[in-house]
Structure 1
Amino acid sequence: MMTSIAASAIRTPQEKLAAILDSHQPRRLLTVSLNPVPVAEHWCDDHDCELIRIQEQNPFDALDHIDRVDMAIVADQLEYMSQRDGESLIGLLRNLHTDSLVAVYQPHLAPEKLRWPSNGFLALGCREEGHFAHDQRELLLYSYDLDSYNFKRAWNNPRFWANPENWGKYWW
């Protein structure tokens, strides 16, 4: 059984992805990747987690047949899609299929015209989890979690509301 990895000991993308899986403990995990994601497969084997794989160039049709999952991992996929299609994929996963996802992106694998800008994932509400570089290779890890992407604002409470007695009663 895999053990939790301390944040300071993480040196590889695989360790970081395993740590993210450990922190979320999904029961149903979806991978959208042209190739297998060994970390996800091993983690699911060790933790009695159902693994659902989509390994298609165009994953949108396959997603029509997938119910909600606890977490999704997109790896080895976005490099071969336009940014618009990649944004659609992440948005579809985030809005319909899961509250938590991880995107693994290798910019140097993508042809120049398909490369995402450095803030492309941040614009989708993702958080950078790691930047790994070795020789000429580079790998970026981004995550999205509905429970933590939008921080609590100190001013957003009845104390600062124009009519505190109406707090939480009306939505417009």
Structure 2
Amino acid sequence: MKQREKILNQFILDTLNNEECKNLQIVTKQDISKLVKKFEESEITHLSIDPDFEYIKDPVDLFIVMDDIDLSQSQIGTIKNLLSQKIIIFSRPKDGIKESNMIKLGFQVELEDSSNKLLCFSYNLKTYNNKRSWNNSEGWANPENFDKYRW
């Protein structure tokens, strides 16, 4: 197994353990049988591997797109809005997916390894927009006057 595959597989397994995912969708044309064998140790109850994005309709806990699949921004938006709240997209640096476009879509760079030509973006709705402590009635001007005066 190449160093690149080891890094990629370990990243996916760590994410599965941290996020406690039961349903997993992987979009790839690659042979990922070595990775799938490692899933037996995890708590995954449903695994679906498809070579084409167009036929996927069911929502899942974690959606993974491998680096052999090219997605448009609208397809990535469809995944975010309809198919999963947790997404991992792998890409090769300087290939296909531009980092600025992914950041505009709310993704973060999770892994960047130029020596192994590996770039990983992730999106998690639960951590994307954390609730701010100042964005409530307590943090506004004159909180002592709330419920006392009619403005």
TM-score, length basis structure 2:
0.77
* Matching of residue 98 in structure 1 with residue 94 in structure 2: no
* Matching of residue 141 in structure 1 with residue 120 in structure 2: yes
Q: Which amino acid aligns with 1:129?
A: E
Deviation for aligned residue 1:146: 0.7
For 2:23 and 2:35, locate their aligned partners in 1 and report how far apart those are by CA, in whole Å. Answer: 11
> Which residue is equivalent to 2:102?
121
| Runs of at least 5 residues in structure 1 that lack an aligned partner in the other structure | 1-10, 166-172
Deviation for aligned residue 1:161: 4.6
For 1:39 and 1:103, locate their aligned partners in 2 and report how far apart those are by CA, in whole Å. Answer: 19
For 1:101 and 1:124, locate their aligned partners in 2 and report how far apart those are by CA, in whole Å. Answer: 12
For 2:32 and 2:74, locate their aligned partners in 1 and report how far apart those are by CA, in whole Å. Answer: 21
> Which residue is equivalent to 1:20?
15
Deviation for aligned residue 1:106: 0.9
* Matching of residue 53 in structure 1 with residue 49 in structure 2: yes
Q: Is the 8 A contact 2:91 2:120 kept in 1?
A: yes
Q: Which amino acid aligns with 2:133?
A: A
Q: Is the 8 A contact 2:28 2:50 kept in 1?
A: yes
Aligned residues: 138
TM-score, length basis structure 1:
0.69
Q: Is the 8 A contact 1:35 1:76 kept in 2?
A: no
For 2:90 and 2:131, locate their aligned partners in 1 and report how far apart those are by CA, in whole Å. Answer: 27
> Which residue is equivalent to 1:160?
139
Rg larger in 1 or in 2?
2
| Runs of at least 5 residues in structure 2 that lack an aligned partner in the other structure | 1-5
For 2:90 and 2:34, locate their aligned partners in 1 and report how far apart those are by CA, in whole Å. Answer: 12
Q: Deviations over 1:106-145 (max 9, x none)?
A: 135x4xxxx33332211111111111122xx421111111
Judging changes above 3 Å, is the alpha-carbon distance between structure 1 residues 117 and 35 closer, same or farther for their aligned structure 2 residues? same
Identical aligned residues as a percent: 24
